[in-house]
Structure 1
Amino acid sequence: MQILDYSHNPMLVFASLLVAMMAGFTGLSLTKGLSERNVMHRKISVALASVALGGGIWSMHFVAMLGLQLPILFYFDAAITLASALVAILVVGVALLILHFRKRTRTTLVVAGTIVGLGVLAMHYIGMSGLQLCQALYTPSGIALAIVSSCALNIAAFSIAYGKRTNRNIIVGTLFFGFAVFAVHFIAISGTDFVAIDVLSEVGPLISKEVMAIGVVLSSFVLCAAFLLTGITFSASPQPAAALQANANIAPEAGLEAKPESDEEAGTTVEPEALPAAADESVTEQTTSVTVTNKQIPYEQGGRTFFVDVDAVAVIRAEGHYTHLYTETDKLFCVWSITEAEKRLTPGPFIRTHRSFLINPSFVTGFERLKDNGVCHFKVASLEKVPVSRSRLRAVRDVLGI
């Protein structure tokens, strides 16, 4: 058997890289903020992201293979090609389920990256077996190199994208993921030889490889664009009209700086700060009537709504238009905004220390005065410190008796 020389169409190689980047951005963006959603929403988003990522991996591979130039005619078996696409979607789905339905640790990131790394290669070699009129030959060293590089690159990509779920990490993770899929394909090809197969009659494709590649690229971009438009809010969403009206009825605090205070967690969007309801008599009357029956705070878990006693909550922290409740043992997701929580729980044990935080002083274990602000220390689940802004410093010190 004579080994065939091969080359690649540069335009199709570049197009395959763009497909991988687009698919990576779509899939990683679709899964942003899922920890704050109910189970059904998470399942739907994971399914869409699996199609985007897995389909993008397959599309990148297929477009790159259409760019393969051999001195003989060749084409692909449709059933085997479809099977390779389904394998890619399946393994990505498994990895995303692990990342979004289990506690995210370094181990889960490694496991998810390894699953995707092996899945990318499984898709690649299954797709290569669908070649007709020629055959791919592999070497053990070539396969070993492809496995190691695929697992390592995908673990790195998922570690970047999921290490901290900020827009910056998603963009950097997208670039790394797209490069990883692209590099793994050509690393595997570099360890592959091609030989012609003798057949009784040659059957050529009914459509040219270039036209087929354009169709795959365009369909991939249309699919990803549809998912992006229907399933993602990548930028901060506007505040609801009801919340804006409520904020308009509350007078700004004297001495409050216009410059926003930074949140401790990178990428967290915080609610605009509002004064306690006592600043307006009409608001005071309204919130007092509401809080008579609110001795518990609702939180979402596993698609169900539960309640926690107000006195068991140490800190309420703004997370976009929602909040997290911190108790001694748990971090709970609450659908209230920080403004709504303050209105509903006034009068009550909570005081505002920062535009992003309400605290229960009975849980404070220490106070640290900084230059023009301060820090309250806690011993609760997933939280040790809460910032105290300059405008709140005196009120917090008075409550703490210091």
Structure 2
Amino acid sequence: MKEMVASFSYSPILVALSVLVAIQASYVGISLALLIPGAFANRRRLLIAGSATTLAVGIWGMHFIGMLAVTTSIDIDYAVLPTLLSFFVCGLVTGIAIYLASLRSQRLLILAAFAMGLGIVTMHYVGMIAIHSVVHVNHDPRYVLASITIAIAASGLALWLAFSADRRPPLFLCAAVLGCAVSGMHYMAMAGMTIHPTVGHGTVAKSVISSDMLAIIVSIVACTISAVFMLALIPSEPRDASSDAVWNTPDALAPMRLEKAMGEEHGGHAGHWAAPATETSIVLLPVEKNGSRFHIAPDDVASIHSNAHYTYVFNGRDDLFCPLSITEIASRLDKARFFRTHRSYIVNLDFVLRIKKVGDAGIAELDTPVRRTVPVSRARLATLRQELQSYQSSVATDLSNA
């Protein structure tokens, strides 16, 4: 006896809504992810969690709305456990992918593309298990392979455009590519799916909430979650003209000095912070790593990030805790080499590889063993370009005269 195959069609409005939800979540998720390289400690973890959660909700919401868009004679019910499992898998894998991509390494970017693509595919097929209680589902292997290819390729393209392209396109374009990757994968997989009703299941009564209304509710929830993360984690930067004037003035005060020998005034113990000393000493910054206290010279400082009343000093590999405020550190550094790109960031021009425009502001990419970017405020972007060009010219002149 030939097994019956149920036909199905789509609601065009819900299909369009599912794609919009995926693009909107991708926009917020990538916006948060772009802030990860310049963040530290708790804020870095919050950004990764916010980006992963936003993307997971959007991707899962797109999948759920896409299933609600299906019109068939069979009442499709969803098992709770596989549905929730598909969401958690999506959140975990996208979090890993976003973190890897934020490190701005080409090798890790490839891993991130595979992780995100396979995560989207896994989420879809795990979610499809939820309907096996009322129907049998078969998948055409050709369409499965095509959906995997689309998910990985489009995810990789979106991550590359957002994190590694020399001239990053508008953020909306990156979000549209990722949103279309999610949607394209879903509908490609659905094209290769056949539904076989189980014995004893036919047309049954409709649920209290219509598919259209449920899709609208899911869309509102997904967009609300994205908006909350956007408002909570993307800071608005007030203009700080006085800080610019003090920091970038050629006649600024000479740097303060610290003792070259560590802990001489504390019985020779390196576990204590050294105090300011004489004019014959050199500039050193007190830092701490894993409970060990020592000092770092400006030549080894790639960037500095303010965190409340203290700072983190990045030496190219590690973020070292420093008890000084960013204002105090600024007074000790050479104004010709160090530039305050943001009210919370200082960068060493020796380490700046290139400057990119990102939206209305920009980022400075550092040439360090661990790839790092430093945010540049809109008001200081043009000045940083000029300062970097002038500094590189002066360094080249000094080398030629040596």
TM-score, normalised by the number of residues in structure 2: 0.69
Deviation at 1:45, TM superposition (A): 1.6
Q: Across the two proteins, how many residue pairs are aligned to each other?
A: 341
Q: 1:273 to 1:204 in 2, by over 3 A?
A: same
> Is the counterpart of residue 351 in structure 1 residue 336 in structure 2?
yes
Q: 1:8 to 1:304 in 2, by over 3 A?
A: farther
Measured in 2, the distance between the counterparts of 1:160 and 1:85 equals 26
The question of whether the paired residues in 2 share the 8 Å contact of 1:16 and 1:60 is answered with yes
Q: 1:22 to 1:307 in 2, by over 3 A?
A: farther
TM-score, normalised by the number of residues in structure 1: 0.69
The question of whether the paired residues in 1 share the 8 Å contact of 2:29 and 2:55 is answered with yes
Q: Give matches, 1:85-104, under 5 Å.
A: 85-100=87-102, 103-104=103-104
Measured in 2, the distance between the counterparts of 1:231 and 1:299 equals 27
Q: 1:159 to 1:299 in 2, by over 3 A?
A: farther
The question of whether the paired residues in 1 share the 8 Å contact of 2:101 and 2:159 is answered with no
The equivalent of 1:141 in structure 2 is 142
Indicate the SS of the match to 1:69.
strand
Q: 1:274 to 1:352 in 2, by over 3 A?
A: farther
> Is the counterpart of residue 193 in structure 1 residue 194 in structure 2?
yes
Indicate the SS of the match to 1:295.
coil
Q: Give matches, 1:150-169, under 5 Å.
A: 150-163=151-164, 168=169
Measured in 2, the distance between the counterparts of 1:35 and 1:303 equals 24
Can you list the C-alpha shifts for 1:176-213, whole angstroms capped at 9, x where unaligned? 11110011111111111222222268464332111111
Measured in 1, the distance between the counterparts of 2:290 and 2:158 equals 28
Measured in 2, the distance between the counterparts of 1:90 and 1:104 equals 20
Measured in 1, the distance between the counterparts of 2:148 and 2:336 equals 55
Can you list the C-alpha shifts for 1:200-256, whole angstroms capped at 9, x where unaligned? 6846433211111111000001110001000113x6x2245xxx44555x5xxxxxx
Give the letter for the 2:283 counterpart.
K
Measured in 1, the distance between the counterparts of 2:58 and 2:100 equals 20
> Is the counterpart of residue 17 in structure 1 residue 2 in structure 2?
no
Measured in 1, the distance between the counterparts of 2:151 and 2:34 equals 24
The equivalent of 1:113 in structure 2 is 113
The equivalent of 1:183 in structure 2 is 184
Measured in 1, the distance between the counterparts of 2:100 and 2:188 equals 27
Can you list the C-alpha shifts for 1:25-83, whole angstroms capped at 9, x where unaligned? 11111122322322332222211211111121110000011011113322222222222
Measured in 2, the distance between the counterparts of 1:179 and 1:303 equals 47
Q: Give matches, 1:42-53, under 5 Å.
A: 42-53=44-55
The question of whether the paired residues in 2 share the 8 Å contact of 1:19 and 1:56 is answered with yes
Measured in 2, the distance between the counterparts of 1:302 and 1:36 equals 21
The equivalent of 1:295 in structure 2 is 283
Indicate the SS of the match to 2:4.
coil
The equivalent of 1:254 in structure 2 is none
Q: 1:99 to 1:307 in 2, by over 3 A?
A: farther
Deviation at 1:9, TM superposition (A): 0.7
Q: Give matches, 1:24-43, under 5 Å.
A: 24-43=26-45
Can you list the C-alpha shifts for 1:243-291, whole angstroms capped at 9, x where unaligned? x44555x5xxxxxxxxxxxxxxxxxxxxx7322325xxxxx6xx65899
The question of whether the paired residues in 2 share the 8 Å contact of 1:17 and 1:179 is answered with yes
Indicate the SS of the match to 2:194.
strand
Deviation at 1:358, TM superposition (A): 6.5
Q: Give matches, 1:346-385, under 5 Å.
A: 351=336
| Structure 1 unaligned regions, length at least 5 | 251-271, 279-283, 364-378
Q: 1:123 to 1:342 in 2, by over 3 A?
A: closer
Give the letter for the 1:3 counterpart.
V
Aligned-residue CA RMSD in angstroms?
4.4
Q: 1:213 to 1:275 in 2, by over 3 A?
A: same
